[in-house]
Amino acid sequence: MPRDELKVFSGTTHPELAAEVCSYLKRPLGKASAFKFSNDNIFVAVNENVRDADVFILQTSCPPVNDGLMELLIFIDACRRASAGRITAVIPYFPYARSDKKDQPRVPITARLVSELLSVAGADRVITIDLHAPQIQGFFSIPLDHLTARHNVAKYFKKKGTENKVVLAPDAGSANFVEKLADLLDLPYAIVDKRRIGNEERATARGIIGEVAGKDIIYFDDEISTAGSLQDVVRLLKEEGAGKVYASCTHPVLSGPAIDRIKKMPLEELVVTNSIPIPQKKRLANLTVLSLGSLLAETIKRVHQGESISALFR
């Protein structure tokens, strides 16, 4: 088998996205199986030869998160022991990404731990999309390709039209991330004044920095989890006299009360990507899902061929 043979495998978390990637690459999905024994232990088998191959394993983070992460680590180990030439973990939504700093006494930095687990398991490279904080890239001792869905979102809203719109950042820490989307759309941007207390999932929005009165809003975040912060932001925007509100994010976690909250919001549209599988019960009438299949496939192709990734975003 030639050393440069490309093989793409899928874990059990998002086989639909893996199928899209393989369709774009015009290659069959690699043969593998994964299941749990009666004692709850996970078993993974690679059912084809990967000796000296360039292997890509796609596994995103979604419930049950720990099962998906453990399955990925075992999958990597199986490929390493089968003498794969290079192993790349393709993780659209990185697990534990929000645990990225020690902001309280005696707490872990779990994102760093996960990066080390991937290295120890045998991964040679990681591909991921829109990390919660860019400094997470520094946790890795192996190469990391940090992609963004920002261009997918910009392309969608350009088609809808950008007249009389403002891009809104969820907090000051996201200002640089959202400013780049505003630049792509040639629009001004505003910032939510937001505070988070302790370990609470929800942060409190206290005001809007910037002019939003009479403007339609494109709110953009890396993820929407319980939608509590979004609920506060939409309320503030309406109080400030904003027009239509479009919410968008890369990772539609939509956990707990998120769906019920969003149903009650005066949202024109919720635009997300398929970095995480979205079950039918979460498919809201005003939900639009943008595919990341071509982005991931093109990245895999470029990594395999040793070409520039940054050129994708110019």
pLDDT per residue over 251-264, tens digit each? 999 999 999 999 99
Mean pLDDT of the chain: 94
What proportion of the chain, given as a percentage, has pLDDT over 90? 88
Q: Are strands 204-209 and 125-129 parallel, antiparallel or unpaired?
A: unpaired
Mean of pLDDT values over 231-235: 93
Distances (CA, A) of 128 to 60, 165, 225: 9, 30, 18
The yes-or-no verdict on residue 3 having pLDDT over 70 is no
Please tell me the pTM assigned to this model: 0.94
Q: Is the dihedral of CA 203, 218, 136, 111 positive or negative?
A: positive
Mean of pLDDT values over 62-86: 98
Which residue is associated with the tokens 């093989």?
A: 7
More confident residue, 123 or 135: 123
Would you state the pLDDT for residue 84?
97
Could you tell me which of 64, 58, 12 has the C-alpha nearest to residue 35? Answer: 12
Residues with active-site annotation: 194
For residue 219, what are its two tokens?
A: 């709110």
Going by pLDDT thresholds of 50, 70 and 90, the confidence category of residue 164 is very high
Would you state the pLDDT for residue 172?
86
Would you state the pLDDT for residue 194?
73
The yes-or-no verdict on residue 203 having pLDDT over 70 is no
Could you tell me which of 275, 314, 64 has the C-alpha nearest to residue 149? Answer: 275
Hey, what's the torsion of the CAs at 172, 175, 178, 184, to 10 degrees? 160
Domains of the chain (ranges, CATH numbers) = 6-149+293-313 (3.40.50.2020), 150-290 (3.40.50.2020)
* Cβ(44)–Cβ(32) below 8 Å: yes
Going by pLDDT thresholds of 50, 70 and 90, the confidence category of residue 293 is very high
Would you state the pLDDT for residue 196?
63
Going by pLDDT thresholds of 50, 70 and 90, the confidence category of residue 200 is low
Would you state the pLDDT for residue 1?
39
Would you state the pLDDT for residue 201?
56
Would you state the pLDDT for residue 202?
57
- For 172-195, how does the pLDDT look when each residue is reduced to its tens digit (9 = 90+)? 888 999 999 999 999 999 999 876
